[in-house]
Amino acid sequence: MATTYMWKGRTVGGETVSGELTVKSRNDVLAQLRKKKIIVSSVRPKPKEVNIKIPGLGDSVSTKDQAVFTRQFATMINAGLPLVQCLDILSRQLEKEMFREKTKKVMQDIEAGATLTESLAKHPKIWDDLYVHMVNAGETGGILDTILLRLAEYIEKIDALKRKVKSAMMYPAVVFCVAIGATVFMLLFIIPTFANMFKDFGAALPLPTQIVLTASHLLRDWWWAGGITV
């Protein structure tokens, strides 16, 4: 099995050079460089890249990704391109690694004799039951391009709805955060000032006022406990 080696050395003229060679052994690297009259100073296997991924983050397939994929798929099928060629083109255009790899596997399954429906059904995290059943109907009825186009329109509507919901939820969330911030600010800085004024008056405080002052004292003295809890 071939291995990639990183090497450093000098030319006959004294120039420092370096590079990589994919060969079967370290001796092959030395032999090739010797032919080029390079004096080798070091040869070592190239370290393997380590990809650290957090499940659920960064590489998940969004509704928008599905919509774009399905619409482009429908366009190519309508243009008369074979399934395998369509999937090959789509896989090259996909940016997300997981989506790209799953699409390649679907293409390989079809090349091995499986139907598109059977191939998509193996990857339910990307193509759910509705998607697979719709594709099956398209394959059976010979109207795959039409079904894919309808699927694309459906997914686009779902994506638009999700965006509207997110936008609608954003304003209340901002208002809530501002309200919490204002309340904390009052309890930490404003209320203590009034507490000192009431103390100077020596008057008995109403129960609601006492509760607010107690909350202010608790927040000032025990704020770190809330941080630990979170």
Do 74 and 39 belong together in one domain?
Answer: no
**What are the C-alpha distances in Å from 16 to residues 27, 41, 44, 186?**
21, 10, 17, 67
CA distance 1 to 37: 26
Residue ending a domain, among 131, 159, 187, is 159
Per-residue confidence (pLDDT) for residue 55, from 0 to 100: 43
Do 153 and 175 belong together in one domain?
Answer: no
Instruction: Please check whether residue 91 lies inside any domain of the structure.
Output: yes
Per-residue confidence (pLDDT) for residue 47, from 0 to 100: 78
Residue ending a domain, among 97, 131, 159, is 159
Q: Structural domain of residue 77, as residue ranges?
A: 63-159
> 91 and 107 in contact (C-beta within 8 Å)?
yes
Instruction: Please check whether residue 31 lies inside any domain of the structure.
Output: yes
- Mean per-residue pLDDT of the chain: 82
Sheet holding 3-10, edge to edge: 16-23, 3-10, 39-45
Instruction: Please check whether residue 12 lies inside any domain of the structure.
Output: yes
Do 185 and 213 belong together in one domain?
Answer: yes
Encode pLDDT of 152-202 as tens digits. Answer: 999 999 988 888 887 777 777 778 788 887 777 776 667 667 666 666 666
Do 7 and 38 belong together in one domain?
Answer: yes
HSE-up of residue 194 (Cα within 13 Å, Cβ side): 14
Residues of the chain with confidence (pLDDT) below 50: 50-58, 226-230
Instruction: Please check whether residue 56 lies inside any domain of the structure.
Output: no
Per-residue confidence (pLDDT) for residue 200, from 0 to 100: 65
Instruction: Please check whether residue 223 lies inside any domain of the structure.
Output: yes
Taking the complete model, does pTM exceed 0.85, yes or no?
no
Residue ending a domain, among 159, 193, 208, is 159
Per-residue confidence (pLDDT) for residue 148, from 0 to 100: 95
Q: What is the CATH number of the domain that holds 152?
A: 1.20.81.30
User: What are the tokens at 225?
Assistant: 């406990």
Instruction: Please check whether residue 128 lies inside any domain of the structure.
Output: yes
Per-residue confidence (pLDDT) for residue 53, from 0 to 100: 44
Do 129 and 185 belong together in one domain?
Answer: no
